[in-house]
Copies of this chain bind each other. A is one copy, B any other.
């Protein structure tokens, strides 16, 4: 069966890193297995077509097995109040029903020195973040007058159940520890979150050990004892903040992949931004996107062995010190990508 993958290069360095990732995938898969198509998305698309997420892109994404996204954002050049490319991203997530954002945080030993955290704390770190992605304050009703604004945070039992079910299943296949993060001492949504999480985790897999932590405490423990966590599940806004904080354990943002999965088509993207300052120079770090493509092969395209091979090749390339400037090296995007392809075996 041929899988269709839609590639949304996006803005800035986006198209450079998606090109690199597609080259890596094409080196280990055939045209029979995957058909790749490009579609327009993001800030430039907004300027050209008046929408960051046009209808034909939407249709292409929905028909695909997976979407590979580069990055969106033009810096500060958009008119204030414009429907910004970030909203393209929220619409994309909403359209695909990708209610779970999955971010592995496992620092590479040869990059420990790039992290602001002491290397001895990084040694056993292997965290999987599961962030709720289509609910909460991101999608609740908003109001605005000249002098007042509001955002409503809503969660339903069903929204919590499905994300916690997924997180519990991930823990079951890992170290069987699940940490749920909320602010149950203040928020009503967090109290519902805690109740539903306790009951769901137990029902899905009683062997998984569940702990509840408050978000402020989690922001500390993530730095103080990062090796203690296995799977961390949390709501949309807390997940946004904590996953970016956790990215610092890995040194460079450029290395980190993510998967957004849920009802159908999966969405795969590096966690870094569009970096307009280095766009077009051919020096962007392609690893975050290449590792996102590996997650795509594993989670949406049924090719776990190919995914493993790509991940091993990225690690071997890092260990061999073929590094882009953000990692302290001098390799171009193309050189680093070639070095990864060479190591695919």
Contact = CB atoms under 8 A, between A and B. Distances in A.
Contacts of A247: 220
A142 interface: yes
Interface in A175-194: 183, 185-189, 191-193
Interface in A117-154: 117-118, 121, 137-138, 140, 142-144, 146-154
Interface string A94-122: 00000000000000000000001110010
Interface stretch (A63-71, A238-246, A290-298): A238-246
Interface residues of A, number: 53
Say what secondary structure dominates the interface of chain A.
Answer: helix
Contact of A148 (B154, B186, B244): B154
A137 B153 contact: yes
Interface stretch (A2-10, A25-33, A211-219, A308-316): A211-219
A315 to B, nearest CB: 23
16 contacts: A86-B185, A116-B117, A116-B121, A117-B223, A118-B118, A137-B153, A137-B187, A150-B152, A150-B154, A151-B152, A151-B153, A151-B187, A152-B153, A220-B248, A220-B253, A224-B248
